[in-house]
Amino acid sequence: MSGLYLNELLVRSLPRMDVSPSLFLAYGQAIESLYEDAGEEGLRRFELVLLSELGYRVAWDSDEQREPIRADGHYRFEVDRGFCIADASATPSRGDRLLSGVHIICLGQWWEGTGSLGNEELSLLKGITRVAVSQLTGGRVMRTREVFKDLKSLGKGA
């Protein structure tokens, strides 16, 4: 199912006949990661490469004002602005895309190849890429995501 998602993502976001060697390489690596059971990280990395190739690069090291991400800070992620400083009294949560600086730094290290992701960081990364991919595809629902949800609900009913 994840391979179908990758294909749908490419079809919905790239102009016809667009050639991108780095994207083709990332696609191959993502497919390989699915085979090696490192699928979720591979999918997220591919989404980020695709976003970068199309001009939506996430700046993991700085906020919207180009100030370094602070480990003790809290930020909101907005696709068109990046990480925006949040109110100091705010509490990080996935629901409103509020992230701690520590998590953003960890995600940046993973992106650069010098760190790894825990389950919490992977979940936060999924939220970031989901919002960015949604904007990239004009908010259209990914059909493979709907099929996956349907399959999951069928499995719970059995």
β-pairing, 82-85 with 74-78?
antiparallel
Task: Say what the pLDDT of residue 60 is.
Answer: 97
Rounded to 5 degrees, φ, ψ at 99 are -125, 145
**107: exposed, middle or buried (Cβ count in 10 Å: 0-12, 13-18, 19+):** buried
* Structure confidence by residue, pLDDT tens digits, 12-62: 887 776 777 888 888 888 888 888 777 788 889 999 999 998 888 999 999
pTM value is: 0.81
Task: Say what the pLDDT of residue 91 is.
Answer: 62
DSSP letters for 19-61: --HHHHHHHHHHHHHHHTT-HHHHHHHHHHHHHHHTT----TT
Helix (H) / strand (E) element for 6: namely helix 2-13
* Structure confidence by residue, pLDDT tens digits, 78-113: 988 999 999 766 665 555 668 999 999 999 999 999
